[in-house]
Amino acid sequence: MAKAKVKFVCQECGYESAKWMGKCPSCGEWNTMVEETVVKSSPKHTGIGSDSAQKPEKITSIHTKEEKRMTTAMPEFNRVLGGGIVPGSLVLIGGDPGIGKSTLLLQISDQLATKNYRVLYISGEESTRQTKLRADRLAVTADELFVLSETNLTLIKAQIEQLDPDFIVIDSIQTIFKDEVTSAPGSVTQVRECTSELMRIAKTKHVPIFIVGHVTKEGAIAGPRMLEHMVDAVLYFEGERHHSFRILRGVKNRFGSTNEMGIFEMKEEGLREVMNPSEIFLEERSQGIAGSVVVASMEGTRPVLVEIQSLISPTSFGTARRMATGIDYNRVPLLMAVLEKRVGLMMQNQDAYVKVAGGVKLDEPAIDLAVAVSIASSFKDKPCRAHDVLIGEVGLTGEIRRVARIEQRIQEAAKLGFKRAIIPSRNLEGLQVNVDIEVIGVQSIQEALNKTFADE
């Protein structure tokens, strides 16, 4: 009998090695190499020379049709997916423990089952009684919602064949195992093989499957990076445990935009949509305080107004500290360097703390001007006008560069009662705004500060 071969697989990145190593040479993590047995499967004759092999087709001769999406009762959820759930798609949802992934999917399952879709909710972490307790709290009463507590993929496939559901939820992929794979559930090999099998089921049966993925301490989805490449869409459910707001963000979507964001509020009866997030982010804003500035940021196709706060104080150490929450840390020292060089604000011996209020994360260049003005306002201890909104990208030479979708940003600011919008002067070309708001174009960071701190 042939000796079984073994390999060592990194549980963080999926790197394979013939011998054990303390540190993974691919991702650099320590003590992540786990021994796994190599199972040789019999070759399947479905490749070249097989009768079932696919043949090349001319792209002009391929006929397509618009897929009818499955829509839920949550427009926020539908928009993140690009308009609804695509039949035959495989969607991965990740998030911190207790953030509300299972709650969201159970509510979505109930809404689809209410529309006479047959839904199968498979829980590998909870019993059917535990799922029923959550369902009672969320007022889930749909008859077409079936619950299964199972971790064996072979038995799960048998139940799928028997029930023939229209929508499937796997909670979570790290608990599912395949008999043919000798490694433990949650290992790189098990996650990869189970996801591949679920993808085949989704494509052949034309049924959408949502799978829940655990995250690491850094916030990334646990398992190999290949997992995110295999699925059709990757959604991250974000939020702080001490805040009631949750953000569903799409980072990959083969059927829609990858910049969409849906905002929900966690209540006792479950998740509820936030239809106007700008009001939520600005409702606790303190007006007339130095360092507070409002920016209109684009999250996919939706403009969102958020408050940026800065605190500049003399340092007590030899090296000044720079801290940022909600924006890229490297952007803070860069903008402070521009303010020192182009405006003359010497902040070398000042600690800088910059925060985006509300727990949202902003990563577009259009927030540069608001961050820079917020830092200058705190440094001068002079508040900005309460009804100003600032939009623009700041270059290293101090110029203000144009941004995209300026009309939507201005209209959102006017809807919330803002009186002035300070924008790049290049965006004034061909600008058509039919709302009651004053639009001011600036060319440099110095001009923007002069307009912002001018006497009312």
Question: Strand pairing partners for 438?
Answer: 420
CA distance 199 to 205: 10
DSSP structure string for 174-218: GG-B-TT--SPTTSHHHHHHHHHHHHHHHHHHT--EEEEE-B-TT
* Whether the Cβ atoms of residue 227 and residue 187 lie closer than 8 Å to each other: no
Beta strands in 214-260 (DSSP E): 233-238, 245-253
Residues whose CB falls within 8 Å of the CB of residue 447, separated by 6 or more in sequence, listed in order: 400
Instruction: Establish whether 96 is an annotated binding residue.
Output: yes
Instruction: Establish whether 318 is an annotated binding residue.
Output: no
DSSP for residue 165: -
* Whether the Cβ atoms of residue 85 and residue 208 lie closer than 8 Å to each other: yes
CA distance 149 to 130: 10
| Identity at 441, one-letter amino acid code | G
Q: Which two tokens stand for residue 415?
A: 């809807």
CA distance 191 to 9: 12
DSSP structure string for 96-109: -TTSSHHHHHHHHH
* Whether the Cβ atoms of residue 269 and residue 280 lie closer than 8 Å to each other: no
Instruction: Establish whether 97 is an annotated binding residue.
Output: yes
CA distance 370 to 175: 45
Instruction: Establish whether 326 is an annotated binding residue.
Output: no
**Residue 403 main-chain phi, psi, to 5 deg:** -130, 165
**Sign of the C-alpha dihedral computed for residues 359, 365, 366 and 368 taken in this order:** positive
Residues whose CB falls within 8 Å of the CB of residue 323, separated by 6 or more in sequence, listed in order: 329, 332, 352, 353, 354
Instruction: Establish whether 23 is an annotated binding residue.
Output: no
CA distances from 185 to 172, 177, 347, 352 (A): 11, 5, 53, 46
DSSP for residue 221: B
CA distance 78 to 83: 5
- Say if strands 438-442 and 145-149 run parallel, antiparallel, or are unpaired: unpaired
DSSP for residue 77: H
DSSP for residue 70: B
Instruction: Establish whether 217 is an annotated binding residue.
Output: no
Residues whose CB falls within 8 Å of the CB of residue 365, separated by 6 or more in sequence, listed in order: 393, 401, 403
Binding annotation: 95-102
Binding annotation for ATP: 95-102
